[in-house]
Amino acid sequence: MKVEQAMHRGVTWCTPDTPLWKVAQMLRDHDVGAIPVGENDRLVGMVTDRDIVCRGLAEGGDMREMTAGDVMTEGIEYCYADDNMQEAIDHMEQKHIRRLPVIDGAHRMVGMLSMGDVAHAVNDESCQRYAAAVSAHH
């Protein structure tokens, strides 16, 4: 199975100059824990709910004055849409990450792969194999 078969498409993202309060609203409105940060259609970082708390508010920052660029994590891990799913899972486990941006060959972001997506895809694939095995015996 390829990553593109399990990833979320149409991921909401922001730019480094997006106000931090707006990023927090995006996290809430889309019920996600991370927002990718892009510039010129290229992935440059990620802002998580934890980044907002630990790098922003806990440091005494004012969300009305801060931007995504102030708290984002740069140099983030990612995978390619055509990567094998097991490679992506191994990568996530080795790096202890729960969300992995998915990019294409031109380094444009095309989706996001979460551990929830992985669990859902693996479960669906297992169910399909089980159904095929059961029907083959009848």
Which residues does residue 58 pair with via DSSP β-bridges, in sequence order? Answer: none
* pLDDT tens column, 5-14: 888 888 888 9
What is residue 59's predicted lDDT score, i.e. its pLDDT?
75
134: CB partners within 8 A, 6+ apart: none
What is residue 136's predicted lDDT score, i.e. its pLDDT?
58
From first to last of the 138 residues of the chain, give the pLDDT tens digit: 899 888 888 888 899 999 999 999 999 998 888 899 998 878 899 999 889 888 877 777 787 889 999 999 998 899 999 998 889 988 988 998 888 899 888 888 888 898 888 887 776 554 455 445 445 554
- Taking the whole predicted model, whether its pTM rises above 0.75 is answered as no
Question: Domains (ranges, CATH) in the chain?
Answer: 3-136 (3.10.580.10)
What is residue 20's predicted lDDT score, i.e. its pLDDT?
94
